[in-house]
Amino acid sequence: MTPTTTSLLRIRDLRLATLGPARKELLHGIDLDIRPRETLCLVGESGSGKSLTSLAVMGLLPPRELAVTGGEIRLDGEDLLAASPRRLRALRATRMAMIFQEPMTALNPLMRVGDQLDEVFAVHTTLDRRERRRRVIAALEDVHLPDPEKLALRFPHQLSGGQRQRIMIAMALALEPKLLIADEPTTALDVTTQAQILKLIEELQERHGTAVLFITHDMGVVADIADRVLVLRHGSPVEEGETRRVVGAPTADYTRELLAAVPTLDPRPARAPSSATPVLAVEGLCKTFGGGAHAVKALHDVGFALRPGRTLGVVGESGSGKSTLARCVMGLETVSSGVVRIDGTDVRQLDKAARRRHATRLQMVFQDPNRSLDPRRTVLQSVVEGALNFGVDKRTAAEKAAALIETVGLPRASLDRYPHQFSGGQRQRIAIARALMMDPEVIVADEAVSALDVSVQAQVLDLLMSLQAKFGLAILFITHDLRVAARLCDDVLVMRRGVAVESGPAERVLTRPADDYTRRLLDAAPGRSLDQAARLRAAEASIPAAPPGP
């Protein structure tokens, strides 16, 4: 369908496999074309092969582990798979460039950013020192960094994440490559920064005529920036086409599932307000780290009340203090001032034993499911740990654990296995079962679904909601993702630099924000067009009888 003569990057039937005795094919024939000035998004969940594809193009596959086993990759007509390492090295700077997810690890921490940029010119051009200097400053101006002269003298750690990603982009585009490969370049950034970086890439692309291969797991980002989309799954292409068509009227079931799994920004209707006594109430909470001139006010006068059976979402960008709030509530950090009441009792007024017992009424689910379970203990040992601490006998505890592990959707046999034998989503289920074992009244979930793929994320969110209904749990849900908050929460508290800037019912805060910052967060959330498409799909689906996917 695409005239191949005009495509800048052309991949045909790309196959890739692991080396070594247990040979396994990871890419099963990928085709793609990118024309100049075009943005193609490679989208898929973890393990889909989207990063492998980009590494194969760049010639950066780990040499003794992975190898291309078939197909062809042509950049501007040149066969990249036949190119010598030396030729690839030259091409990598001048014809194609790459930016990564975590700019901090891609920059040399011991070198001033100006010098790192200068190195690009020094290695690949014959410009003299003065001319290089001029080009460095111009490149920094190009990515809209303020005061380039001064900024060039800084070290990477002195810059913010967004600034570092701008430096990476400046380095990538320094030699005017024809192809820019961006591998999840905004995933580690806050939404507002993400929006700026996406805008910057778009602007530079227009100005320099670069083609962009953009790799992302985020359908929202796809909807915002891509001209065309290629959806991958388990190393095979699933669907390809114009963005508007793929997002608006996907033909493949998998694409439809992916789109359906993205929560909309339209908040779900709140449950009827409850008048029960708050199970968790926080008043005037302050937390200061360090002292003297270096004191950091992580929380300043934060308060909220959480009633049984309801969900309060705490949203904000990194550094807003939302995680500190969770940790203070849990007693993992000591508060500087303020009161945390559990069921109306100030925790600090209890004696030690009562406090220990009382504290278990709040349980936490952590962000990283790889690290929240002890790798050397079986699932059963992890799940029953709390119960054994409070004198439940082993048999009773094991039976309860078996019942709970089924409640969270895992087979009983899981109990005898070790955490590394489970996927991220399954481990998060185990962590939830461990929390439920204590019969808590409140579950505090700190970015509990942020490390998961969207489809898995949707399942875990559904699980949380069903458990909430079943056990009457109150949930304090910390997230940076407004879509997740809209889907799960009755009430929302917006944090910024340790201060609660706005709070109220999710329906009101996420649709008619009173605070400027909330408005900016909402505007920056990627994929607004996705929501319209979802509404359209829903409207269409409601005409015939068939409901949209599971």
Partner 1 sequence: MSSPRLTAPSWSRLVRELGSHRPHWLTGLAIAVLVALVLAALLAPLLSAHDPVTMVPSERLRPPSPDHLLGTDAMGRDLWARVLWGARISLVVGAGATLGAVVIGLPLGLVSGYFRRLDPFVMRVMDGLMAIPGILLAVALIAIVRPSLTTVMIAILIPEIPSVVRLVRARVLSAREEPYVEAARLLGTGGAKMLWRHLLPNTVAPLVVQAAHVFAAAILTESALSFLGVGIGTETPSWGNVMADGRLYFSIKPALIFWPAAALTLTILSINIVGDALRDALDPKTSKGKG
Within residues 57-96, the interface with partner 1 by CB under 8 A covers: 65
* Smallest distance, partner 1 to C-beta of residue 529, A: 36
* Smallest distance, partner 1 to C-beta of residue 286, A: 22
Q: What is the enclosing helix (H) or strand (E) of 409?
A: none
Among 176, 253, 399, 406, binds partner 1 (CB under 8 A): 399
* Smallest distance, partner 1 to C-beta of residue 335, A: 16
Among 90, 438, 465, 524, binds partner 1 (CB under 8 A): 438
The residues that bridge with 32 in the sheet, in sequence order, are 11
* Smallest distance, partner 1 to C-beta of residue 435, A: 8
Spatial CB neighbours of 238, under 8 Å, sequence gap ≥ 6: 44, 231, 232, 252, 254, 255
Among 236, 360, 407, 532, binds partner 1 (CB under 8 A): 360
Q: Is 390 in the site for partner 1 (CB under 8 A)?
A: yes
Q: Is 359 in the site for partner 1 (CB under 8 A)?
A: yes
Closest CA relative to residue 145, chosen from 136, 206, 116? 136
3-class DSSP assignment, residue 52:
helix
Among 53, 363, 457, 459, binds partner 1 (CB under 8 A): 363
User: Where would I find the H helices in 97-242?
Assistant: 103-106, 113-124, 129-142, 148-151, 161-173, 191-208, 219-225
| Contacting range for partner 1; rule: CB under 8 A; set: 153-161, 256-264, 394-402, 460-468 | 394-402
| Contacting range for partner 1; rule: CB under 8 A; set: 105-113, 131-139, 374-382, 494-502 | 374-382
Q: Is 433 in the site for partner 1 (CB under 8 A)?
A: no
* Smallest distance, partner 1 to C-beta of residue 277, A: 23
Q: Is 478 in the site for partner 1 (CB under 8 A)?
A: no
* Smallest distance, partner 1 to C-beta of residue 108, A: 23
Strands 78-79, 96-99: parallel, antiparallel or unpaired by DSSP?
unpaired
Among 394, 470, 519, 535, binds partner 1 (CB under 8 A): 394
Q: Is 450 in the site for partner 1 (CB under 8 A)?
A: no
Phi-psi region of 333 (alpha: psi -120 to 50; beta: other; left: phi over 0): beta
8 Å CB contact between 75 and 96: yes
Q: Is 395 in the site for partner 1 (CB under 8 A)?
A: yes
| Separation CA 510–CA 488 (nearest Å) | 12
Closest CA relative to residue 189, chosen from 500, 489, 480, 520? 480
| Separation CA 203–CA 166 (nearest Å) | 13
- Please give the biggest Cα pair distance in the chain: 78
Q: Is 415 in the site for partner 1 (CB under 8 A)?
A: yes
- CA distances from residue 48 to 42, 43, 257, 348 in whole angstroms, order as listed: 10, 8, 15, 49
* # binding residues, partner 1 (CB under 8 A): 44
Q: Is 305 in the site for partner 1 (CB under 8 A)?
A: no
Q: Is 384 in the site for partner 1 (CB under 8 A)?
A: yes
Q: Which two tokens stand for residue 197?
A: 């970086």
- What residues make contact with partner 1 under the rule CB under 8 A? 65, 330-332, 356-357, 359-360, 362-364, 366-368, 371-378, 380-382, 384-386, 389-390, 394-395, 397-399, 401-402, 412, 415-416, 418, 431, 434, 438
